[in-house]
Homo-oligomer: A and B are copies of this chain.
Amino acid sequence: MDNNKIGTYNFVAEPFHVDFTGRLTMGVLGNHLLNCAGFHAADRGFGIAELNDNHYTWVLSRLAIELEDMPRQYETFSIETWVENVYRLFTDRNFAVLDKEGKPVGYARSVWAMISLETRKPADLLTLHSGSITDYVCDKECPIAKPGRIKVTQQTPVAEYVTKYSDIDINGHVNSIKYIEHILNLFPIDTFKEKSIKRFEMAYVAESYYGDTLSFYLEEKGENEFDIEVKKNNQEVVVRSKVVFK
């Protein structure tokens, strides 16, 4: 029964998808996770394509990834995904990252809302397709902490960036993966020589658009822990992120 609840998707770590250490980048992993969420939902009747007909779309609110290891260049790996909870306004979707031998090397948690494309207001997930999304709730273990609180009080940005053509997705927004790249670009390359990312969190708060100036505020929370806040045009918070190295 639970077999149909869990989707499994296979990948290979492509040459331009690994960083200078030869490990898959966090941005590419994030892209694969979100694609798997899309495949899994579409196969069960809750995909973007189905929802667009009904003028609804999924919106990613939180993403937390925790890893022991990352696939190396040319290695195969797979991603499992399943729905942990469905609430009225949010659903929790989890992931496992399996290495080429099928051993879990990491997990991820994500939180999604559904909004109306017309009103931009959240939809009630429990009434969607007569509540049948709840049939896919699965109690597979996801042994990492839920997305936590990210708090930045720092008032001086460490970097500014004006968004460009390549940042913008089909909805006209800066795409969720580009934020990950821009945030990791705040760290000097030596950080990635000496350390690897143990845990990475994103909180998607608001949308930014072409030509917006993004300001990046970085706060060291501990020896290996950094909170980041990204504001657009010196005002509204767009995303927050936490990076924990090991």
Contacts and interface: CB of A to CB of B under 8 A. Distances in A.
B73 A170 contact: yes
Contacts of A18: 169-170
A181 B169 contact: no
A74 interface: yes
A3 interface: no
A31 interface: yes
Contacts of A128: none
A166 B181 contact: yes
A19 B74 contact: no
B169 A184 contact: no
Interface in A55-97: 73-74
Nearest to A168: B20
A166 B16 contact: no
A164 interface: yes
A164 to B, nearest CB: 4
Interface stretch (A150-158, A185-193, A199-207, A218-226): A185-193
A196 interface: no
Nearest to A181: B166
A122 B134 CA distance: 60
Contacts of A169: 15-16, 18-20
A25 interface: yes
A20 B184 CA distance: 23
Nearest to A12: B35
A104 to B, nearest CB: 24
Contacts of A184: 165-166
B189 A168 contact: yes
A38 interface: yes
Interface in A1-55: 14-16, 18-22, 25, 27, 31, 34-35, 38, 48-49
A175 interface: yes
Nearest to A48: B15
A85 B98 CA distance: 41
A166 B22 contact: no
